[in-house]
Amino acid sequence: MLLRHIRYLKAVADLGSFTRAAQTLHVSQPALSQQIKELELRLGAQLLDRSGRRVRPTDLGRAYLERVGRALRELDEGARALRDVEDLSAGTVRLGITPTVGTYLIGPVSRRFRASYPNIMLSITVSSHEEFEPALMDDKIDLGIGFADLPSDDIEVIALHEERFVLIVSAKRGGARRSVVSAANVANMPMALLTPTFSIRRMVDRYFREQGFQANVVVEANSVSTLIDLVRSTDLATILPENVAGPGLSTVKIKPGFEPRRAALLRRRNAYCSAAARAFIATVQGVSGEYAEA
C-alpha cells in the first residue's frame, strides 16, 4: 500500500468529488479512481459511497480516515522538521488570528518579527476563535492567537494580556469628553456592533440583558475595520477592546464594566514546534507584555 493511495482517498473525501480531487492533485480522474479502487481491494472494504451527487466516506471509510489522518499529519510535521532551519535563515509560520486581536496586535508583532527575522514568511489566516481548534488539530495552522477559554485538552494555551472592553466614539463627539458612562446611557446610544457570529457581540448582548437593557443597534458589520471607520466618521458608538481605538477615536469606560478577556497563544499540544514558530511565540509575548504594562 502506497502513501499516494491514502492521500488520494483523503482528497476525495474532503472535497466530495473525484473531479475536484483530481484537479487539486493534478492527476487524471480515471487514474485517481483506479488508485482508490486498488486501496479498497487491498483493504477488503468499501471506503467511499459513490451513489449520491457528493462522494462521501462510508462508516468504514470514516473510521479508516480518522486513523490514517493522524499518521498523515505526523508525516507532514516530519517533512517540515526536515525543512526547518534552526538558524532562522528560512522558514514559515502559519498563523490564525481573530479579527479583533488582529486589528491591534498583528501590526506591531509583524513589524518586530520581520525586523529580527526578515527571511521568515508569515502566512496569516483571520478566522473566528472557534475555528482554531479544528485548524490546529488538522495541522492547517501552527499557532492561533485568540482567547484562553478554548476548552480542549488537546490545545496548549499560553496566556497573554487582558483585553478591556470600552465604549469607542469619535473624538469629535461630545460624549468623548466623559471618562465614564453608565450602561443605561450606552443602551440609549445608536450603536454599530459586530454581527452575532462574533463572540464579542454575544458578550455585549449578554451584558445588556444582565443589566436589564437592550442595546440600540442600528448597524451590524462583520468587519472590525468597518466599524471603526463608521464610528470615526459618524455619531455611532461601538464596544470593542480599548487597544482597537486609533486616531480620531476616544474611549470611554462603561459602568459597571465588562469582564476582561484574556488573549492567548494557542497550539496543538505536543505538536512539532519549528524554530520559526518558537521565535514568533517569543515576539508575541514581548509585544503582549507591553500591552499588559500599559
**pLDDT score, position 5:** 85
Tell me the pairing of strands 165-170 and 249-255: antiparallel
CATH, residue 217: 3.40.190.290
**pLDDT score, position 149:** 80
Would you say residue 81 lies in a domain?
Answer: no
Share of the chain above pLDDT 90, in %: 55
Task: Say what the pTM is.
Answer: 0.69
Q: Do 158 and 169 have their domain in common? A: no
Q: Do 49 and 171 have their domain in common? A: no
Would you say residue 77 lies in a domain?
Answer: no
Q: How many domains does the chain have?
A: 3
Q: Is the pLDDT of residue 174 over 70?
A: no
Would you say residue 216 lies in a domain?
Answer: yes
Would you say residue 32 lies in a domain?
Answer: yes
Would you say residue 190 lies in a domain?
Answer: yes
Q: Do 214 and 242 have their domain in common? A: yes
Would you say residue 82 lies in a domain?
Answer: no
Q: Do 145 and 272 have their domain in common? A: yes
Identify the residue with better confidence: 19 or 294.
19
**pLDDT score, position 88:** 78
Q: Do 110 and 193 have their domain in common? A: no
Q: Do 273 and 240 have their domain in common? A: no
For residue 12, with 0-12 CB atoms within 10 Å meaning exposed, 13-18 middle and 19 or more buried, which class applies?
buried
Q: Is the pLDDT of residue 274 over 90?
A: no
Q: At what angle do helices 3-15 and 18-25 cross, to 10 degrees?
A: 130
Q: Do 21 and 100 have their domain in common? A: no
**Identity (one letter) of the amino acid at 82?**
L
Confidence of residue 75 (pLDDT cuts 50, 70, 90): confident
Query: Which DSSP category does 237 fall into?
Result: B
Q: Do 113 and 237 have their domain in common? A: no
Q: Is the pLDDT of residue 247 over 60?
A: yes
pLDDT digits (tens, 9 = 90+) for 202-220: 999 999 999 999 999 999 9
Q: Do 169 and 253 have their domain in common? A: yes
Q: Do 275 and 143 have their domain in common? A: yes
pLDDT digits (tens, 9 = 90+) for 94-107: 999 999 999 999 99
Q: Across the chain, what does the average pLDDT equal?
A: 89
The pLDDT of 120-149, averaged and rounded, is: 90
- List the single range of 18-22, 163-167, 168-172, 271-275 with lowest mean pLDDT: 271-275
Q: Is the pLDDT of residue 8 over 80?
A: yes
Give me the residue label for grid cell 526547518: 84
Q: Is the pLDDT of residue 194 over 80?
A: yes
- Give strand ranges (E) for 15-84: 48-49, 56-57
Q: Do 172 and 237 have their domain in common? A: yes
Q: Residue 130 sits in which domain range?
A: 91-162+262-293
Identify the residue with better confidence: 81 or 198.
198
